[in-house]
Amino acid sequence: MMKKLTWSLLTVLALGLCVACDEDDSNDYNYMEGDIEYQLPDFCVIGDIIDLALEGEGITEPEDVQYNWIFDGDTTSNTKSIRLEIPDSAAVYWVTCFARYDGYLQVTNTQSITALDTVFNGSVSGLIAGTNTFLDVRDSRSYQYTTLGNLDWFVENLAYAGAGRAYSGNELMNRVYGRYYSWMEATGGQAARGLGNGPQGVCPEGWSIPTAEDWADLAAAVSEGEHAEFLVNWPNLGSVLSADAYENQERMWPYSPDNKHSNNFGWNAFPAGNSRDSHNRFENVGEYGMWWSAAEKDADNAYYRYIYYNQSDCQVHFVDKEEFGMTVRCVRKK
């Protein structure tokens, strides 16, 4: 036992000396001045091509440092920019840029990007396909829809690019989250009332932005008539309408015992969040699902319904018609 203890002690001492040596060696190196900065989007779609370049001057001392990039197992040499060709597999990919120069400690910057597939094709799983599909002739995109109550409802978010903005400005993200519209963009500035009587707005011909009565009809349909008023929160319907959706095998809604995301009727709510400041800022992805109504509160504000990840209710609120953006589900009367 004593021999083993002595050997262990000698080993620790030896390792300590090695660490000390390494620390002494590091003193022989100089430190670079400046930063490696670049802006990598949080998300992209498989097959996307992304051009990255260093922002600003990069490393200012020493001059003529060598920049290298590593992406998906490949390395590029001595360049301040790189073109990323995202593979056809939905996954998280890592990008590293590093600067090196003889006699200086290396500087690195590593970031990740999540590559997604389309909603009903791999990346977002846990959704229920609609009972029918509809082809939007404006851009030849198909949408899943199902009948609930007296209306047909899209069971995915509208992605028409004639208005609004894609997530973080990446047009390919329309295929995953749908598009974000202000109320003015979504409705064309037209409020409306009555079942199936909403403005067409950005929806395809024959479809419309849901009115207060449309939303109330949905609530009645999924709660056996228990909830039928628009301007109230609907207990438990946040769970009933939301899907336990996964994005690249990662849960989209953070776990909460208060919202089971049962998706009983295949409405497929998932947390696409919202935009703000005229679509210049995106937030609440992974926490909130939000959808416009055609109902206005006053000249400046309009109502929307939302689901929050750790509450089982489907709630109602109002925001500015122009500065706040969110997703759209189109409806039509049977």
What are residue 115's phi and psi, to 5 degrees?
-95, 130
What is the Cα–Cα distance from 285 to 156, expressed in whole angstroms?
16
Residue 116: name the closest of 64, 174, 43, 63 by CA.
Answer: 43
Could you tell me which residue, 12 or 182, shows the higher pLDDT? Answer: 182
pLDDT tens-place string over residues 117-156:
766 655 678 899 999 999 999 999 999 999 999 999 999 9
User: Given this model, what pLDDT does residue 4 score?
Assistant: 33
pTM of the predicted model, to two decimals? 0.72
The pLDDT confidence band at residue 248, using thresholds 50, 70 and 90, is confident
Using pLDDT thresholds of 50, 70 and 90, give the confidence band for residue 235: very high
Spatial contact of 58 and 99, defined as CB atoms under 8 Å apart: yes
Q: What domains sit in the chain, N to C, each tagged with a CATH number?
A: 33-116 (2.60.40.10), 124-333 (no CATH)
pLDDT band at 7 (very low <50, low <70, confident <90, very high): very low
Dump pLDDT digits (tens) for 174-217: 878 899 999 999 999 999 999 999 999 999 999 999 999 999 99
pLDDT, tens only, 61-120: 998 899 999 998 888 888 889 999 999 888 899 999 999 999 999 999 999 998 887 666
When the pLDDT of each residue in the chain is averaged and rounded to a whole number, the result is: 88
Q: What does the DSSP assignment read for 158-181? A: ---TTSSB-GGG-GGGHHHH--BE
Stretch 43-63: mean pLDDT: 88
